[in-house]
Chains A and B, each alone.
Chain A
Amino acid sequence: MDVAIVGYGFLGRNLLTSVVEKWSAIKAVDPYFRLVGVSNSTGYAFSPEGLPLHGVLDSGGLEHYSGFTLGGTSLELLDKCSPDLVVELTPTNIVDGEPGLTHIQHSLRMGSHVVTANKGPLAHAYWELNAEAQKHGVMLLYEATVAGAVPLFSLVRECLQADRITRMLGILNGTTNYILTRMHFEEIGFEAALKEAKERGLTERDPSIDIGGHDAACKAVILANAIMGKRVKLRDVKTRGIETITAEAIRLAKRSGYTIKLVATVADTVEVAPRLVPVNHPLCVHGTLNSVYLESDLAGELTLVGHGAGKQTVSAIMNDIITVLKRTSH
């Protein structure tokens, strides 16, 4: 299988490192696996025979790789290499899903399978993209878009095939969970905790995307559509952030066995808001951890906990890639 990676930042680099580490396992599934193209915002590297993985990794930045085409666009790369699988890892844009949306649409229309960690395109056009994938007989997998390394979509797809999921609650944003955790345990104010999160590099360039609940809302939209079959857009989500949470409020909640968490709820309605969570509830996880609590008609309640971001996210991307390889290998 010919694979192209669009977006070679934090996840792109960590993915390539894992591909090298897991090379023999990948080759065991698909002996023809090769990386034919990698792009970033300034250009791309392309080789129809397959790029040397160590060569790309050790180049010290894609633009320093000897075969780099400066000024080339990702769409140009895709047209040039017609990959069987595109891994889309460009930055999330919650306003219109671009440039990822165009990359994914273009890939699906070319008949390429797509694996992505980019929640923007799915939050904006979940059903449209799925229809496009179906039309062209290709797979669109997006495990890493919600709760990073936590295997959520594949769990529901593979292990809850007869279940009907009736309600989901999720702590889906690591940054706000870190802030609220610091406020809970250290009894510091919101501003001090936010400053700490910034210093630790946990916030986006625009922190309001996390703090205002918009990142969690994007993830709630994907969950609502993908797991509960709803037809929900971002504008349908009642979204509140954690800006108004005070140290005093957390203290008061704590005295009664609660803490305050930013919770995405997917039920009859879809909502993101700070909520009172009993400290002994399985959803109640601390630090940058994410958790998802599912209620279903057969299995009852299930809770999944894990890393919502960071290099562990590569696990979800790799699993999606291997799923594509396995399903197309016969």
Chain B
Amino acid sequence: MRYSLTFALPDTPGQLLRVLEPIAKMGGNIVSIIHERDRVGDVYVPVSVVAEFPDTLLISVVLDELRKMGAEVLEVKEVFRKSSLTVMIIGDASISEFFDYLDTLSVSRMEVSGSSSKQRCVKVDLEASEREVGNLLKRLEEMCDNHGFTLLKPIL
């Protein structure tokens, strides 16, 4: 699991290290650190740390640990890694009735072909978080099975 943790850190040396250490100790792998230093004169500086934690670790445990050491966590967000995947659907003219539905599925690009013939096919580029991909494909598969369309999944 990847999380983004935003801290308000006192603008004095060694503060960042103080929060990074417990994160690393709990198995967190630091991916990026964004430091908003431009607000000169502020006592606290907002710092966002993106870290990858083992799947078995509860984020609440990490937060408890940080709180215990007095680090104020302003915001916690899970970061979903996106993957893009391409599928194609072959069907009859009624396939166009499903374009609206496809649009609800985080489509980044759609290309339709064969509009002059009885058979149509559509290529859909989707963007989804890695954990959503399986579900998304299952829903598409059900839709295609129900309507007698052919779904072409990528080999991934």
Contacts and interface: CB of A to CB of B under 8 A. Distances in A.
Interface of A: 169, 240, 244-246, 248-249, 251-253, 255-256, 258, 260, 263, 265, 273-278, 281, 283
B76 to A, nearest CB: 32
B140 to A, nearest CB: 13
A283 B114 contact: no
Contact of A276 (B87, B114, B119): B87
Contacts of A248: 113-114, 117, 119, 121
A256 B155 CA distance: 15
Q: Is the interface of A mostly helix, strand, loop or mixed?
A: mixed
Contacts of B154: 258, 275-278
Nearest to B87: A276
Nearest to A265: B155
Contact of B155 (A169, A245, A252): A169
B78 to A, nearest CB: 25
B86 A256 contact: yes
Contact of A274 (B86, B113, B152): B152
Interface residues of B, number: 16
B88 interface: yes
B150 interface: yes
Given A248-B113, A253-B123, A276 B90 contact: no
A260 B86 CA distance: 12
Given A252-B123, A256-B123, A244 B153 contact: no
A265 B37 CA distance: 52
- In the complex, the 7 A-B pairs of residues with the closest C-beta atoms, listed nearest first: A248-B114, A244-B150, A249-B121, A276-B154, A252-B113, A246-B119, A276-B152
17 contacts: A246-B121, A248-B113, A248-B121, A249-B90, A249-B152, A252-B88, A253-B123, A260-B88, A263-B155, A273-B152, A274-B152, A275-B155, A276-B86, A276-B88, A276-B152, A277-B154, A277-B155
Contact of A246 (B87, B90, B123, B155): B90
A255 B125 CA distance: 13
